[in-house]
Structure 1
Amino acid sequence: MALAAAKFSGVSILIPAHDEADWLPACLDALCASGPVSGPVEVIVVANGCTDATAEVARREASAFKGRGWTLRVLELTEGSKLSAWNAGEAAARGEVLVYLDADVLVSPPLLGQLAEVLVDAAPRYASGVPRVTTMGDWVTRHYTRFWRTTSFMTHGVPGFGIFAMNRAGRARWGDWPNIISDDTFARLNFRPEERIAVAATYDWPMIEGFAPLVRVRRRQDAGVAEVGRLFPELMRNDDAHDDMRPFWRRVLSDPLGGIVFIAVRLTIHAPVFRSANRWVRGR
C-alpha cells in the first residue's frame, strides 16, 4: 500500500473502533484534554463493522476538537477488522507522525506531545508511553495484573500495547497491515530496540475482567505472538533481551497469591474448553 502523501508535519491519530460506543467518549475526552502539541493534529476514528452508535458518538465529539484547532473525522467500514481499519485510517492520514490508539485507552495530558516530539526524526522511529494497567475490582484480575506487571514484557523495553506511534520513515518498512492477530507485536518488532523510544508520560489501559475472559484473551495474545514468529521469523531478532529479569520463583516468593493466580491462568490457557475458532475473541 502506498501511504497518503504527508500534507502537514503534524500528528495523525488513528482509532479503530468496533462497537466501542461505551468506551469511545472517555478515550476522546482524554485525547482532547491533551497538552500542547507542535503542529496540527487530526483524529481519525475508523468505525469498522459496528452494530452500535460508535460512529455517531465519535461525530458528536468533533466540535470539542474543533474548539482547540484540531480536526476529527469518522470513517465507516462495513467489515469488522482492526487491520482493515488501520489500512483505511492510514490512507486518509496526512500527518508526519502516526499514532495508533485503541478506543478503550486513556492518554495522560503530556503523552501526545511527548510522542510527537521524539518522532520528529528523519530516521525510522517508534515510541510509546508508560502503561498503567487498570482493573475494576475483580479479585482474579487484580491479583493476576499485579503479578503480570513483573514479567519481562512489562519491565523491559517499550511494550506499546494500547497505543504506539511511529514516524513516516518507520511506517515505510512494510506495506498493508498483514492479516494477523497481534498488530502491536508486529509493529514493535519492525523496529530494533535502539529505534524504540519510551517517553515518560503514562496512559491507562484496562485489563480484561474475570477468569474466563482473561484466559480467552491471554490465549489469543499468545497465539498472536506465535503467529508473528511463524510468519515473520526475521522480526524476532528485534525483541528485547530479558537476561536481567528476576527469576520467576523469586517473584512468586515476593507475591505468592499473585503468582498462584498467574500460574492458574497460564495453565488454563491450554484447556480445550477455552479454544475458539474466532481468532478475534474479545474479553468484553
Structure 2
Amino acid sequence: MKTSIIIPANNEEAWMGYCLDALFKSQRVEEAEVIVVANGCEDRTVEVASKYEVLAAELGWGLKIIDLERGDKLHALNVGERAAEGNILIYLDADVRVSERVIFQITRVLDKEEPAWASGQLQMAAASGVSKAYARFWMKTPFMSNSVPGSGLFAVNRAGRARWGKFPEIISDDMYVRLHFTGRERIAVPSSYVWPVAEGWANLIKVRRRQNRGVAQLEELYPELMKNEDKGDFSKLRILGYALGDPFGFIAYAGVSLIVRLTQDQSGDEWKRGR
C-alpha cells in the first residue's frame, strides 16, 4: 500500500525545513513518496526542499519537487495529485510539523476498501499572548472539540478520493474534502501534529475573516455537503462557563469574531497566513 504525501508550498522557505525534518523522522512507512509542489515561490522554498533528496533516498522515501510559476494552492494540489502514485493520499501544509507516528497511523487506518478520511490530533502553536489566548479558547469551540477538523493535515484513500473531481477554486480545501465524508467515515488517529496560529490581532482578524468566507462559500456552492457537518451548537451557557474559566481567551476569541462581523475587509484578495 503506497502512500503519497502532497505538500503545496508558496514562499515557505522558513517552514519547509521544519516540515520535512519532522516528516522524514516519522515512523517507517513501507512505501512512501513526498511531493513538494512549490507554486509561485519567490524565495528559496525549492532549494530548501532539494536539500532533502539525499536523506529521502537513504530512508527509502521518494521525493518529487515540482516548481510551478502559478501561485495557486488548489492548482498545486491538482498537479500534485497527477504526480501521485499512492493508494493513500495525505495532504500536508508546509508549515505543519507531524509527530513521529501520525503518518504511520493514518496509513494504517486508511488501508481499506471502503471510502475513508483521516487526520491526527491538532495542536496549535502560537508565540504572542493574544494568539495563545485565542487558540486556547478556539480549541474549546464545538468545531474543534466535537469534530476532527483536519486543518493543515488530512488524508483519504483512493476510494474516498473518488468522491470529487479535481479541486475547485475554493478557499477552504480542508473543509471541502472533510464534508465529502460522514462522521462515521472520518477517522481520528491518536497521534498529533502542530499547526501554527496567525500571530497578533491584525493577522488573527485577517485569517478569521478568510475562514468565515470559506465556510460561506461552501454553504453557497455545495449546500448538499453541509449535512455532513457535525460540529454541534455552542450554547450560551457553555460559552459563559468557558468565559469564566478563561476570561482572556474569551476576550481574544470574541474580540476577533466581533471585529470581523462589524468591519469590512480592506485587504483585497491578497492572501498571506500572517505568521
TM-score computed with the length of structure 2 as normaliser: 0.96
1:14 maps onto 2:1 in alignment: no
Provide the rounded CA distance (Å) in 2 between the counterparts of 1:259 and 1:233: 31
Structure 2 counterpart of 1:24: 16
Matched, 1:60 2:51: yes
Contact 2:199–2:274 (Cα < 8 Å) also in 1? yes
SS of equivalent to 1:91: helix
1:131 corresponding residue in structure 2: 122
Aligned match of 1:162: 152
* Mapped partners of 1:118, 1:190: distance in 2: 18
Question: Amino acid of the residue matched to residue 109 of structure 1?
Answer: E
Q: Look up the match of 2:202.
A: 212
Runs of 4+ residues deviating >6 angstroms: none
Identical columns (%): 47
Q: Does 2:250 align with 1:276?
A: no
Offset of residue 82 of structure 1:
0.4
Q: Name the residue aligned to 1:92.
A: 83
1:120-143 deviations in Å (ceiling 9; x for gaps):
11111000000110111x121111
> Contact 2:106/2:155 (CA < 8 Å) preserved in 1?
yes
Structure 1 residue 270: Cα displacement: 2.9
Larger deviation, residues 242-251 vs 70-79: 242-251
Matches within 5 A, 1:76-87: 76-87=67-78
Matched, 1:266 2:257: yes
Question: Is contact 2:144–2:231 with CA below 8 Å preserved after alignment?
Answer: no
Q: Please, which of 163, 184, 189 is the counterpart of residue 199 of structure 1?
A: 189
**Residues 186 and 59 (structure 1 numbering): CA distance in 2 closer, same or farther, change over 3 Å?**
same
Deviation at 1:281, TM superposition (A): 3.9
Hey, what does 1:72 align to over in structure 2? Answer: 63
The answer to whether structure 1 residue 239 and structure 2 residue 222 are counterparts is: no
Residue 274 of structure 1: CA displacement?
4.0
Distance 2:159 2:202 in 1: 41
Counterpart contact for 1:100–1:164, Cα < 8 Å:
yes
Q: TM-score, normalised by structure 1?
A: 0.93
Cα deviation 1:95-150 (Å, max 9, x = unaligned): 000000000000000001000000011111000000110111x1211111111110
Displacement of 1:282:
2.6
Say yes or no: does 1:112 pair with 2:103: yes
- 1:154-189: CA deviations, max 9, x gaps? 101211001000001101111110000000010100
* Residue matched to 1:6: none
C-alpha RMSD of the superposition:
1.4
- Please say if residues 128 and 164 of structure 1, whose CA atoms lie closer than 8 Å, have aligned partners that are also in contact: yes
Stretches of structure 2 that go unaligned for 5 or more consecutive residues are none
CA contact 1:130–1:199 (8 Å) conserved in 2 = yes
Whole-Å separation in 1 of the counterparts to 2:156 and 2:218: 19
Alpha-carbon separation, structure 1, partners of 2:22 and 2:252: 32
Measured against aligned partners, the alpha-carbon deviations of 1:70-111 in whole angstroms (never above 9, x if no partner) come to: 111100111100000100000000000000000000000000
Tell me by how many angstroms 1:272 deviates: 3.6
CA–CA distance in structure 2, aligned partners of residues 271 and 244 of structure 1: 20
Deviation for aligned residue 1:241: 4.7
Aligned residues of 2:179 and 2:226 also touching (Cα < 8 A): yes
Larger deviation, residues 69-78 vs 249-258? 249-258
Within-5 A mapping of 1:164-203 = 164-203=154-193
Give the C-alpha shift of residue 249 in structure 1: 1.4
- Contact kept in structure 2, 1:12 and 1:94, CA below 8 Å: yes
